[in-house]
Amino acid sequence: MSSGGQLEVGYAQVDITPNLGVPLSGMMARNGRFCGRIRDPLFARAIHFSTPEGGATLVVADLLVITAALHEAVARKAGGTLDDILLAATHTHSGPGAYWDAGRARLFMGEYDRAVFERLSDDLAGVVRDARSSSRRATLAGASKGLVGASSNRRQLHGPIDPELSLLRFEPEGEQPIDLVSYGAHPVIGAEREPEACTSDFPGEICSRIEKKGRRAVFLTGAVGGLSPLFPEFPMRYDEHLELYSGLLERGYDQAVAELEPIDVGRVEVARVDVPVGTVSCEMFPHAGLKWSIAERAAYPLRWWVQKMGTDARTDAVAPVHYLRLGETALVGTPADLGVRVALAMKEALRAAGVRVPIIGSQCDGYVGYVHLPEDYERVPEPGFREMAFYENAMSLSGRGLGRRWVSALDAHVSGPS
């Protein structure tokens, strides 16, 4: 869908906080991991964008992942299609589980509960309908601000990060502004510091801080593959760590607010770019000599288990990226723990096509594992980084070439005729 018409925007949110005792998602637990405390409420927040020719809705929920089944159920119940609903998770590792019916995924998600799935899909479909019904004529402004020290590469010493905190501000007539904020780092502070607490982690905390400033907020998590948030090694309570980290993000947000510039929404486009997935291999180690070849063979039992999980998780032969262009800004959603180099390459392709404020999201519309560039898998990580690098390599559930194919397909889409 493309248009040069007037932009209208609607907003809605719904509380999806689970009850005490429900399974929590995000950490492997053979006997389950269950909610012992509600630290803060969890929400699904939606922004609906429309022009006279059509529209699309972005929903971001305080969940670990979005499954293909959940995306399909929400689209069906909301009266939409997979093309016009972009459903994303903040990737908190301390949110509710039990909604993924995918065999071995229960170790990360808890036992599947059909009632949980139906209730969650009902809530998400409802917030889509509410956002649609609240649409008002709106203007758009945007800015990006680099943050130093807010994230680090967990695969490579001095490896790349994506330092940009991006902000899009929608101002509907007669209503509070809606701020869409995006930054890339793994929301694992709560899971590491207080494993039994249900919490939206830093994505929810920054939304809460923005709301206290009199604005509505949506946080779309950027690249998470290979990226950790600032994580001091000395003992620290969860609330202290969250205060420290969210303060960094809030300062970046405030600086971006000060640099907001109007964005011309002269071109609006919504598209899903389908890319073939590769063979599930889940190789852990680089092809860098006899030592790593022997290690790969020794790790076969673990690889076999992860391969089976990947086969359970994948439901299609393609892995689409969801593309939403609003004039001089564009948003790309990927169904993955997206690697930082892939995100940076996608942003480069968008900027070459005239996009001033590019936003790349993880955990959108489904899940195909970790996705890095082929050269990332072949790099031998330094001691101290190997555990996370080999874990992410094993979780390449769609082969090692998907990241490059995503970048190439996006580049071809945005540089070709509209």
pLDDT for res 3: 39
Q: Is residue 272 part of a domain?
A: no
* Mean pLDDT computed over 123-132: 98
pLDDT for res 105: 84
Lowest mean pLDDT among 9-18, 94-103, 126-135: 94-103
Handedness of CA 362, 300, 24, 314 (dihedral sign): positive
pLDDT at 226 over 50: yes
Distance separating alpha carbons of residues 175 and 390, to the nearest angstrom: 48
pLDDT for res 131: 98
Q: Is residue 212 part of a domain?
A: yes
CB 138 within 8 A of CB 180: no
Distance separating alpha carbons of residues 91 and 63, to the nearest angstrom: 6
pLDDT at 1 over 50: no
CB 390 within 8 A of CB 296: no
pLDDT at 107 over 80: yes
Query: Distance between terminal CA atoms of the chain?
Result: 10
Residue corresponding to tokens 């995918």: 102
* Band (417; pLDDT cuts 50, 70, 90): low
| 31 CA to centre of own chain | 27
CB 180 within 8 A of CB 204: no
Residue corresponding to tokens 């923005």: 210
pLDDT at 168 over 90: yes
* Band (4; pLDDT cuts 50, 70, 90): very low
Q: Is residue 322 part of a domain?
A: no
Nearest CA to 343 out of 257, 224, 230, 177 is that of 224
Q: Is 345 exposed, middle or buried (0-12, 13-18, 19+ CB in 10 A)?
A: buried
Q: Is residue 412 part of a domain?
A: no
Write out the DSSP string of 330-358. Answer: EEEE-SSEEBHHHHHHHHHHHHHTT-SEE
Q: Which token pair is 395?
A: 């979780």
- E strands within 90-200? 136-146, 151-153, 164-172, 178-183, 197-198
Q: Is residue 298 part of a domain?
A: no
Q: Is residue 27 part of a domain?
A: yes
Distance separating alpha carbons of residues 163 and 181, to the nearest angstrom: 13
CB 16 within 8 A of CB 3: no
The two beta strands, 164-172 and 178-183, are: antiparallel
Distance separating alpha carbons of residues 234 and 246, to the nearest angstrom: 18
Lowest mean pLDDT among 88-92, 303-307, 409-413: 303-307
Q: Is residue 172 part of a domain?
A: yes
As beta bridge partners, residue 272 has 322
Write out the DSSP string of 66-123. Answer: --HHHHHHHHHHHT--TTTEEEEE---TTSB------GGGHHHH-S--HHHHHHHHHH
* Mean pLDDT computed over 100-125: 93
CA distances from 27 to 47, 108, 187, 267, 404 (A): 30, 5, 12, 42, 28
Tens of pLDDT along 254-275? 999 999 999 988 778 899 999 9
* Mean pLDDT computed over 393-414: 94
**Structural domains in the chain (count):** 1
pLDDT for res 280: 78
Average pLDDT, the chain: 93
pLDDT for res 281: 78
| 150 CA to centre of own chain | 17
Q: Which domain holds residue 16?
A: 2-265
Q: Does residue 6 or residue 371 have the better pLDDT?
A: 371
pLDDT at 316 over 90: no
Give the helix ranges, DSSP H, for 273-329.
290-298, 300-313
Name the pTM for this structure: 0.95
pLDDT for res 315: 66
Q: Does residue 310 or residue 376 have the better pLDDT?
A: 376
Distance separating alpha carbons of residues 184 and 292, to the nearest angstrom: 30
Task: Provide the 3-class DSSP secondary structure of residue 265.
Answer: coil
* Band (2; pLDDT cuts 50, 70, 90): very low
Q: Is 320 left (phi over 0), alpha (psi -120 to 50) or beta?
A: beta
Q: Is residue 48 part of a domain?
A: yes
